[in-house]
A and B are shown apart, each in its own frame.
Chain A
C-alpha cells in the first residue's frame, strides 16, 4: 500500500510534466509549422534547422543541455523542473510542427479557393475551414506523440526529478526487489490506456464527416 502511495505521488509529477509539455508544445508546434511553410526563406530555414536539431539529437541529451548549459554560459542554472519542461516543449513542438504541416498540406487547394471567393479572410479560412479538417486528419499521429510523451517523462529522472520512474527505482533498490518497477510499468500502461480511450472517443466524435 505504501508502495502505491509512493508511486502515485511520482505519477502526479509525471502527469504534470505531460500536461505542461502539451500546453506549450502544441501551440508552439503550430507556430513552427507556419514558419516552416512560410515563403520567407530565412524564417523557413531557421525553423527547418530547429526541427532538424530537435529531432536529430537524443531527448535525454537535450534535457541535460537545458539544465547544464545555462550555468556554463550565463553562470546561473534553471531549476530542474523548468529545464525539463523547456526541453520537452521544444522537442515535442518540433515533432508536432511536422505533423501539423503534413495535415495542413493535405487539405485540397479547392478549400482555400472556395473560402476565398466567398470572401473569408485568411485568418477565418485557416481557423474555420482548414484547421478543423486538419485536426481530424492528424489525430492518429498526434496520439502516437502523446503516448510516447507519457513514456518519455521517465527521462527527466536524469535531472533528479522525482517522478514515477525515479520513485520506483529508488524503492526498488531500497527493498532490493524489481516489483516496484513492474508496478510502475503498470502505471504507465494505465495512463496510456486512458489516452488511447480518449483518442478513440475523439476520433469517433469527428467521424460525423469524411
Chain B
C-alpha cells in the first residue's frame, strides 16, 4: 500500500533551483534511504514533504490525503491549513541537530505534543513515553534535561519524541551527521530496530553501509534530481549512471 507519493516536485530559492522535478513513492512498512552529495537537494526534499518549505510545482500526498497539487493552470494548490495540520500529524521528522526543547525534561519533550497537540491524557502520554524510552534504552534518563545528554542519547530522545505522535511515516534528515562513529552506531541501531518493526521510514544519510544493510530501496540524488533508484544491491553493486559510480568511489576510497 502506498504511503507517500511525491510527483514532479520543483523548488527554488531566489532563482536557485534546488529540486528539479523529483518523483518517488514509499510503500507502507518500507525503508527508503536517500543518498547523494551535499547540495543535491535531499534535505530540501524532506523539508518540503514536512511542510517546512512550500514547493513551486508538483504534487505530494500522504496515503489518500493530498497535501499539495498543481492545477491545470500551473498554480500550486495547498490544502486548507486545517487539513494540512491533520496531514502533518501523519508525518514525523528527526533533525540532524536534534532540536530538543532544552527547558523540558526528556520525559516532557516526549509528552508535550501528545498532550497538547493530540489531546491525549497526561497519564497515557507518560506511560507511552516511558515505553518509548525503554525501547531507546534510555529509561533512566526520563528526568534528565537535554544538556545532560550525549549526542547519541539526544538523537534517540528526538526519535522517541517523533514516535510519540504515532506518525505513519518517519523522516530522518542526516540523523547521525552530528555524531561521532560510536554514537552513530547507537542511533543506527535504534533505526534498524524500527525497520524490523516495519516502521515506514525515509532516511537521508551519508552512512552507506547503513543504507545498504537496512534500506529496502535506495534513492540516489544529484543536482536536484533523482538519478538512480533501486534495491541496495542495484545501487551499490551494479550502479548504472556515471554520477552514482563517481559518488560511490569517494566512499570506497575511504
**When each residue 105-128 of chain A gets 1 if its CB lies under 8 Å from chain B and 0 otherwise, what string results?**
000101101111111100010001
Q: A116-B51, A117-B52 are in contact. Are A136 and B95 (CB under 8 A)?
A: no
**Is A110 in contact with B102, judged by CB distance below 8 angstroms?**
no
The residue that A119 contacts in the complex, of B102, B146, B147, B165, with Cβ under 8 A, is B165
The answer to whether A117 and B92 touch across the interface, beta carbons within 8 angstroms, is yes
B103 and A117 contact, CB distance less than 8 A: no
A113 touches B52 (CB 8 A): yes
Flag if A118 contacts B161 (CB, 8 Å). Answer: yes
Find the residue from B92, B113, B118, B162 having the highest chain A CB count within 10 A: B113
The interface size of chain B toward A, counting residues with CB under 8 Å, comes to 28
- Does B122 sit at the interface, judged by CB under 8 A? no
* A residues in contact with B102, CB < 8 Å: 133, 209-210
In the bound complex, do residue A118 and residue B103 qualify as a contact, i.e. CB atoms below 8 Å apart? no
Closest to B118 in A: A119
Task: Pick the most buried of A114, A117, A133: most chain B CB atoms within 10 A of its CB.
Answer: A117
Contacts of A120 in B (CB 8 A): 113, 116-117
- Whether B99 pairs with A110 at a CB distance below 8 angstroms is yes
A–B complex contacts, Cβ < 8 Å, 14 sampled: A113-B99, A114-B95, A117-B50, A117-B51, A118-B113, A118-B117, A119-B85, A119-B118, A120-B117, A124-B117, A129-B101, A136-B103, A209-B146, A210-B145
Residues of B within 8 A of A (CB): 50-52, 85, 88-89, 91-93, 95, 97, 99-103, 112-113, 116-118, 145-147, 158, 161-162, 165
